[in-house]
């Protein structure tokens, strides 16, 4: 794989050091199914995506007190080649265990449930080519003293040339705000932004995802990946 200079964000002053590593490439994963004959006249359909969905469910259950949502579609998922290794990244939103308990309390008390700070979680999960878990990261939203509710992921892609990482576009709203009173008002208070997640290896060789907000800021109003990628490129060149 062709090598290139990788910009690593370092100090708060946005100074940069450059190391040579393998180029990071991000590709969409094709949905394919295989039909396997398990016995004469009996067949089983195998799907890489279905196995991947189950791996994501297990990951979320492991970090969310055993509670995991339905996982389907893989809209924000990608195959990654980095440092000669193959990985699979999946971004999604799910409810925290405490938010699920709030729903249960509301049903018991016959009242409307309330969105809890951090009750909506947006996260990225990384697996190896055999779908073994490698690492995961919950996107940090410090706005409103972390009184935020992440309610969707809208894109996952390469951060661009010279940046060893992924860009993830999300939506969220602030908890404590008055909820929409009419169906047509839903979404009025939603905020959209894109965050940078760098890939790096720890001293013991573990692959990590690290949220880096120093170029894009947090919060920011870069609603899509191309806009955020352009900002990152400008930031790197100026530093």
Distance CA 126, CA 132 (A): 9
Task: Say what the pLDDT of residue 7 is.
Answer: 28
pLDDT for residue 109: 96
Question: Which of 37-43's residues contact partners 24+ apart within 8 Å by CB, and which partners?
Answer: none
Q: Which residue carries 């170029």 as its tokens?
A: 215
Q: List helix spans (H) across 36-190.
A: 48-63, 97-109, 143-146
Q: How many CB atoms lie within 10 A of CB 210?
A: 14
Beta bridge partners of 45: 35
Would you state the pLDDT for residue 26?
72
Residue 44: per-residue pLDDT? 57
What is residue 185's predicted lDDT score, i.e. its pLDDT? 54
Give the predicted TM-score (pTM) of the model: 0.82
Give the whole-angstrom CA distance, residue 198 versus residue 200: 6
Residue ranges covered by each domain of the chain: 24-238
DSSP states of 157-217 as a string? Answer: EE--TTB-EEEEEEEEEETTSPPPSSGGGTTTT-EEEEEEEEEEE-TTS-EEEEEE-TTT-
Measured between alpha carbons, how far is residue 222 from residues 25, 167, 196, 225 in Å?
22, 11, 11, 8
- pLDDT per residue as tens, the chain (239 positions): 333 322 222 222 233 222 323 356 777 676 566 666 656 767 655 688 888 999 999 999 999 999 988 887 667 899 999 988 999 999 999 999 999 999 999 999 999 999 999 999 999 999 999 999 999 999 999 999 999 999 999 999 999 887 889 999 999 999 986 665 555 555 577 999 999 999 999 999 999 999 999 999 999 999 999 999 999 999 988 87
The phi and psi torsions of 130 (rounded to 5 degrees) equal -100, 10
């Amino acid at each position: 794989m062709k090598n290139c200079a990788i910009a690593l964000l370092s100090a708060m002053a946005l100074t940069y050091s450059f190391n040579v590593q393998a180029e990071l490439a991000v590709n969409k994963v094709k949905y394919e199914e295989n039909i396997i004959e398990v016995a004469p006249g009996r067949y089983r359909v195998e799907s890489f995506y279905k196995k991947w969905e189950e791996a994501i469910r297990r990951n979320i259950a492991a970090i969310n007190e055993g509670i995991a949502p339905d996982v389907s579609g893989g809209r924000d998922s990608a195959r990654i080649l980095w440092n000669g290794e193959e990985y699979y990244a999946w971004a999604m939103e799910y409810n925290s265990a405490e938010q699920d308990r709030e729903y249960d309390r509301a049903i018991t008390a016959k009242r409307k449930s309330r969105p809890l700070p951090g009750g909506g979680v947006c996260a990225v999960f990384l697996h190896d080519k055999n779908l073994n878990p490698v690492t995961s990261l919950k996107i940090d939203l410090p706005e409103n003293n972390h009184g935020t509710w992440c309610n969707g992921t809208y894109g996952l892609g390469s951060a661009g040339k010279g940046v060893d990482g992924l860009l993830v576009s999300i939506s969220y709203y602030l908890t404590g705000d008055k909820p929409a009173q009419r169906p047509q008002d839903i979404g009025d208070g939603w905020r959209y932004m894109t965050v940078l997640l760098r890939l790096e290896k720890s001293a013991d060789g573990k692959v990590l995802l690290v949220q880096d907000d120093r170029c894009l800021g947090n919060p920011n109003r870069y609603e899509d990946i191309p806009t955020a990628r352009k900002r990152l490129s400008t930031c790197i060149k100026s530093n």
